[in-house]
């Protein structure tokens, strides 16, 4: 044994170095773990943004392809011209699919979309309102077809105008959400790295 091993100061230095090394190791381990967690959340937000963008883009394209605004405008013009409402005037496209699967699964994680949460939720709220109006008009149409209700032309005109107005807002809200989600998708994790 060397003379420094018996010296209390040398032993204390070794203990302090060991404690310091353990502390630095724990600190670095914690920092690394935090970085890994933040990176996982970052990648999850990017994937979430990509999925929501695809769903919103599909919904906008569906409305445009099926020409819903034009159909509604035609019904409104006919009713405003004095036509009596019939069951055929109740705009009621079939709603047989779950059109918001990605959004519904993403709701618990919507906070990951910093800067895009509000516009995304707004787009989906408007889209859900449109679907609810579709279902309401379909329900009324069925009652008219069954003979349990006489069509109320003024009510139908007001409901169809309201649907058209909400439907007009939805694509713009969707486009706003698409831009915000695209920014999330395009972000770099460490922004200072080119």
Each residue of 121-170: pLDDT tens digit? 999 999 999 999 999 999 999 999 998 888 899 999 999 999 999 999 98
Each residue of 116-126: pLDDT tens digit? 889 999 999 99
116 closest CA partner among 191, 55, 193, 177:
177
Average pLDDT over residues 72-101: 91
Quick one: pLDDT at residue 42?
76
Instruction: Name the average pLDDT for the chain.
Output: 85
State the pTM of this model.
Answer: 0.74
Q: Go through 32-46 and write b for each residue having 16 or more CB atoms within 10 A of its CB, e for each that does not.
A: eeeeeeeeeebeebb
Quick one: pLDDT at residue 57?
93
Higher local confidence (pLDDT), 2 or 169 = 169
Each residue of 20-68: pLDDT tens digit? 777 767 666 766 666 666 777 778 888 899 999 999 999 999 988 999 9
Measured CA angle at 94 (ends 89, 95), to 5 deg: 130
Contact 116, 177 (CB under 8 A): yes
Contact 75, 91 (CB under 8 A): yes
């Amino acid at each position: 044994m060397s003379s420094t091993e018996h010296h209390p100061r040398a032993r204390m230095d070794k203990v302090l170095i060991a404690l310091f090394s353990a502390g630095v190791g724990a600190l670095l381990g914690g920092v690394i773990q935090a970085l890994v967690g933040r990176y996982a959340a970052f990648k999850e937000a990017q994937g979430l943004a990509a999925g929501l963008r695809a769903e919103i883009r599909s919904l906008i394209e569906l409305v445009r392809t099926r020409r819903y605004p034009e159909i509604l405008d035609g019904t409104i013009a006919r009713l405003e011209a004095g036509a009596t409402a019939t069951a055929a005037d109740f705009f009621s496209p079939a709603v047989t699919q779950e059109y918001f699967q990605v959004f519904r699964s993403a709701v618990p994680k919507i906070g990951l979309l910093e800067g895009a949460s509000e516009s995304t939720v707004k787009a989906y709220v408007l889209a859900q309102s449109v679907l609810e109006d579709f279902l309401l008009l379909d329900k009324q149409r069925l009652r008219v077809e069954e003979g349990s209700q006489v069509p109320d032309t003024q009510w139908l005109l007001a409901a169809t105008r309201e649907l058209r107005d909400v439907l007009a807002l939805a694509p713009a809200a969707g486009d706003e959400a698409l831009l915000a989600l695209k920014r999330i998708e395009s972000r770099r994790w460490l922004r200072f790295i080119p």
